[in-house]
Structure 1
Amino acid sequence: MGVGVRGDELKQRRHQEAVGEVVGDGMESFAAMYLHGDVLESVVERMPAADLAATARVSREWLRAVRAALRRRPRRLPWLVVHLQGPRRRTAAYDPHSGAWVTVPAARHDTPSHVRLVQGASGDRVCALTLSGLAVAGDPLGKEEGVALKAPGLWRVDPVFAAVGARVVVLGGACQLALAEGEDASAVEVHENGSWTLCGPMPPALRESAAATWLSAAATDQRVYLTDRTNGWASWFDPAKLQWGPTCRLRPDAAVSSWGLAPGLAGTEQLILFGAKHAADQAANTVVIRAWQVDGDGLALVPGAAHDTMPSEMSERLFPRDDDEEDEVEMSPSIGVCGNAAGGYVYNKGEPANGAVLYELRDGQGSAVERWEWVPCAPAVEADPVGRVILACSPVGLDELSREPLAARTAAH
């Protein structure tokens, strides 16, 4: 004699089987059964990005809701990704939509203890340079084993790396002791179709600072831009044409002691120039950070565009006042910047554990920055303040999030 099953029970059982094992507890089962259509999409729009991958796996309807919500309200702002170099590599990522840090699980493949940054318009990647090759991570979080390239022709110890379209560019940073006669430490190489092409050196104004330590870089779909962090001399390199652009001094404020570059709005060769200086009132011992729009072609300030000033309460948190510091040994502020065509992050290059400031670009005329927002330090950096920190910036989407669930989320305050 068989066991009878009522129609409503059978319907519920089939629904639970379609949802699968992802829906485990009572609350998730309730949500899977009763959240549909516009209500479901409205809920998804408010979810942290780190939860979207798990949400999309609940059912086909939920996957469609996630995709519809992302099409209707794209999450433009890039994530801030922190790569901490210590006894072991650790990575954390800040989701600007939810205002929370997430811990990235350790990579399954072997990773070197010392990595560098490849900046690109579609997102930054970490890479490892050895005498035998260059390995570039396959995703912005550094979890996937990446692309293996030949090592550049010159051995470099502190180069600038950039990804411009399908090309990888390495600029400067060559080891002086390893140079042969006639080779230049500021030489440039472009990787395309499996091989490196040696190009001419950097412009004379940048050769004295031809290393990643002293240069700020920004990559677009066509060029890589460089500026000297201390004096503002700047130029650009086009890897498709293997040629340099004009060399100009970007110095709209003579009091600025530290400069940083980031890409401007998408579809234009525009840049955002950031500068940090001590306030005119020396007694206040505070730091002022400003941003200007720069035309990338001619490397000149955009006519009529006003500069933007970071709120003082945020710049003071990046560079906290030290009441015990003597005026005679007062250190100049040093800023770091990473960003893309939607926005990015400004931080204290000497003390990244102080936190960062998110900036969002304005899509229209007028000033460049629409808003500023404070980002606290990643818990992983607070736990290891002496570790070497690399800050990167990249969009993080469903593809990256679905490869492996991110670890516990830490809300930012």
Structure 2
Amino acid sequence: MGVGIQAQEPKHRRQGQEEREADGAADSSALAALYLYGDVLESVVDRVPAADLAATAGVSREWLRAVRSALRRRPRRLPWLVVHLHGRSRRRTAAYDPHSGAWLTVHAPRHATPSHVRLVRGARGDRVCALSLSGLDVAGDPLGTSACVAMRAPRVWRVDPVLAAVGDRVVALGGACQLALAEGEDAAAVEVHEGGSWTACDPMPAALRESAAATWLSAAATDQRVYLADRTTGWASWFDPSKRRWGPTRRLGQDAGVSSWGVAPGRAGAERLVLFGAKRQGEGAESRVVIQAWEVDGDDLDLSTHDDTMPSEMSARLFPRDEDEEDEEELAPSIGVCGNATGGYVYNAAELCNGAVLYELRSGEKGSAVERWEWVPCAPAVRAEPMGRAILACSPVGLDELARGLRPVSSRRACTDKH
């Protein structure tokens, strides 16, 4: 009868198995270390550029859910600056992420917004659009990468209107073509799109009729109203599309030295505006541009008692002096503004290549409106094609929009740009 004896494994086989078990334990420990939770995950997400976060969509559903959850708990507060550039050959879009201080290039698909676009101001983000005799096509996202939302064209043919999205309504104000006006129609006509059709409303107030076009008006949209201000005179009013009525008309700026005015939404909560004014101070070599900001009560259009002034080194970069033309009269500064209830951007409307200045609004009720200012370099695409037509917009940008196709152009912080 045979005796059963447990075979003994060769020494080299046992050693290999032990090494594999040790390696497996090390891999498990390393894998476990990759899982981030709670404050640790939020701390990591807070430091990762938005374009890199967008790449998480292709990693795993678990990681994507974790990042989205962390962003909901600690959202990135400031809106992006989006530049839609129309060059000699094609349309390009660049987006500035204020969190990472980087410009990114947007890859627009073939079905994106047509090449010749206008802008629709909105509290939830500006959108580009295409206006024609047959319709109004509005981009489905702030970067203009998704298919457009199509609607009928306004009844009055307009060549340079102010367009705004207020809640679920779209408003067309002024900009009518004088040659195409029918009997009884007004160049300052106002229409509201709701439920698939346009409704005519009272035209613009008398103080805004001489400047009833997007070229001459600064516009800001909130969830309840669209605000208009004459860029040159400072006269302003608001329109409520749900009630189809205009508010008071007032001259916001009393400083006769200001040559350019701009408005943007104010701090969240009650209806508020931020008013910006640019003027030259001094003469000759001492001449400099001063840019100030005031908070405005949205109901009666009263200005706050105190103002904020942009740092002089930033306004000097927006409006640099030409040392070769000291004997000639310097041009009056012209500013552009876009923003939302958390902050926005001020820029030289005549020279977009000079860059922009980011402003952040205070979250509290008391104190001045602007908490800080930060320099933003010019988008590389604009610098490469300075003769192109550029439209500047402001909007929050989420992971879904980024995942549709962004690549970083420069990862350097904005303050390191010396051009």
Q: Fold conserved (TM > 0.5)? A: yes
* 1:35-74 aligned within 5 A: 35-37=35-37, 38-74=39-75
Shift of 1:282: 4.9
Q: Deviations over 1:66-111 (max 9, x none)?
A: 1343133210100000000122100000000000000000223154
Instruction: Report 1:367-406 matches (<5 A).
Output: 367-402=368-403, 404-406=404-406
The CA deviation string for residues 164-220 of structure 1, in whole angstroms up to 9 with x for no partner, is: 000000000000000111111010010000000111210000000000000000000
Report the Cα offset of residue 51 of structure 1.
1.3
1:261 aligned residue (254, 260, 263): 263
Unaligned 5+ segments in structure 2 are: 1-16
2:206 matched residue in structure 1: 204
> Per-residue deviation at 1:396?
0.5
CA drift at 1:326: 4.9
- RMSD between aligned residues: 2.1
Percent identical among aligned pairs is 74
**1:76 counterpart = 2:108:** no
C-alpha deviations, 1:338-385, integer Å up to 9, x for none? 000000000000111110000000112111100000000000001100
- The separation in 2 between residues aligned to 1:326 and 1:212, in whole angstroms, is 33
**2: CA distance between counterparts of 1:265 and 1:185?**
33
CA distance in 2, matches of 1:237, 1:11: 67
Partner of 2:352: 352
Tell me the distance in 1 between the aligned counterparts of 2:172 and 2:24. Answer: 62
Partner of 1:323: 323
Shift of 1:31: 8.3
Looking at structure 2, the residues matched to 149 and 12 of structure 1 have their Cα atoms a distance apart, in angstroms, of: 60
Shift of 1:267: 1.9
Q: Is the 8 A contact 2:96 2:102 kept in 1?
A: yes
- Larger Rg belongs to: 2
Number of residue equivalences: 392
Q: Which residue of 2 aligns with 1:146?
A: 148
Tell me the secondary structure at the aligned position of residue 393 of structure 2: strand
Q: Secondary structure at the match of 1:205?
A: helix
1:307 counterpart SS class: strand
CA 1:109 to 1:12, structure 2 compared with 1: closer, same or farther past 3 Å? farther
Higher mean C-alpha deviation, range 354-363 or range 64-73: 64-73
Among candidates 155, 158, 167, match of residue 156 of structure 1: 158
State the match for 2:275 in structure 1. Answer: 273
* TM-score, L = length of structure 2: 0.89
3-state SS, counterpart of residue 48 of structure 2: coil
AA of the residue aligned to 1:317: R
Does the C-alpha gap of structure 1 residues 62 and 292 become closer, same or farther in structure 2, counting only changes over 3 Å? same
1:135 partnered with 2:120: no
Question: What secondary structure is seen at the aligned counterpart in 2 of 1:127?
Answer: strand
Q: What CA deviation, in whole Å up to 9, does each residue of 1:226-285 have, x standing for no partner?
A: 000000000000101111111000114221110000000112110000000001455422
The separation in 2 between residues aligned to 1:374 and 1:32, in whole angstroms, is 41
CA distance in 2: counterparts of 1:57 and 1:159, whole angstroms: 42
Instruction: State the Cα deviation string for residues 131-166 of structure 1 (Å, max 9, x = none).
Output: 100000000000001100000001111000000000
Residue 42 of structure 1 contacts residue 69 of structure 1 at CA under 8 Å; is this kept in 2? no
The equivalent of 2:314 in structure 1 is: 314
- AA in 1 matched with 2:239: F
Query: Secondary structure of the residue that 1:407 maps to in structure 2?
Result: strand
For residues 346 and 101 of structure 2, what CA distance do their matches in structure 1 show?
Answer: 16
Map of 2:3 onto structure 1: none
> What secondary structure, in the 3-state scheme, does the structure 1 residue paired with 2:286 have?
coil
The residue identity in structure 1 corresponding to 2:397 is V
Q: Distance in 2 between matches of 1:110 and 1:229?
A: 31
Q: Is the 2:337–2:347 Cα contact (8 Å) retained in structure 1?
A: yes
Contact 1:359–1:369 (Cα < 8 Å) also in 2 = yes
The answer to whether structure 1 residue 286 and structure 2 residue 288 are counterparts is yes
Q: Compared with structure 1, are the counterparts of its residues 110 and 398 closer, same or farther at alpha carbon in structure 2 (3 Å cutoff)?
A: closer
Which AA in structure 2 matches 1:362?
Answer: R
SS at match of 2:72: helix
Structure 1 SS opposite 2:67: helix
- The CA deviation at 1:407 is 1.7
